Chain A
């Protein structure tokens, strides 16, 4: 059974710092991996999708990498801003469903 773990569970950084969020999964036979952002009480916003054949994807200040062999993905956020404060969720596309990690709660202090 696929399990997804995210480390750290919470992170607090000053504005302007570069940071890395980690995601690991137990079964490397995944189709794709998707990173989401969730604001308190709100829905999930898709940030990046990495296909299983790709190593990384970039969107603005965000860069996500995927290493299937080691079962790891990282989300790199450059020059963090207070508006980046949210919960970040990693999910692997396993068959016909997403298997989610518990998330990393990020707080960027101004």
Chain B
């Protein structure tokens, strides 16, 4: 089954404790992206990647890092999480940035 998977689905952590949210797709898509969804602010892009070793900032990249060492994986790294990073995070993939994007199930992160 073609899908985008994210792990973990739920995470509660404390301020400053480094964490990684994994994202993997099995559709051989070149483009991958991370979004966060917040009440009243909607979905906003954090980072995206056009291909292996090619990443770029989205609209809200502060406090996040990404890497794309393999085509199928695009982890989101929070080096020192803060409470304002409490949010619902989605990973998406596509053949290219201008094609239909397919989303993972989401990761609900709470930083206390």
Contacts and interface: CB of A to CB of B under 8 A. Distances in A.
Interface of A: 31-32, 34, 36, 41-46, 49, 89, 91, 93, 95-98, 100-103
Interface of B: 31, 33, 35, 42-45, 48, 50, 56, 58-59, 90, 92, 97-106, 108
Contact of B42 (A32, A97, A101): A101
A88 to B, nearest CB: 13
A93 B90 contact: no
Given A42-B106, A101-B42, A102-B42, A96 B100 contact: no
Contacts of B98: 31-32, 93, 96
B104 A32 contact: no
Given A96-B50, A97-B58, A34 B101 contact: yes
Contacts of B42: 100-103
Nearest to B50: A96
Contacts of B108: 41
Nearest to B97: A96
Given A100-B43, A103-B42, A43 B103 contact: yes
Contacts of B33: 96-98
Q: Which 8 pairs show the lowest CB-CB distances between chains A and B?
A: A96-B97, A31-B98, A49-B100, A44-B103, A43-B105, A100-B43, A97-B45, A43-B106
Given A36-B103, A89-B43, 20 more contacts: A31-B98, A34-B101, A41-B106, A41-B108, A42-B106, A43-B103, A43-B105, A44-B90, A46-B100, A46-B101, A49-B100, A93-B98, A95-B97, A96-B33, A96-B97, A97-B33, A100-B42, A101-B42, A102-B42, A103-B42
17 contacts: A34-B101, A41-B106, A41-B108, A43-B103, A46-B103, A89-B43, A93-B98, A93-B99, A93-B101, A96-B56, A97-B45, A97-B48, A97-B59, A98-B35, A98-B45, A98-B92, A101-B42
User: Which of A41, A44, A46 neighbours the largest number of chain B CB atoms within 10 Å of its CB?
Assistant: A44
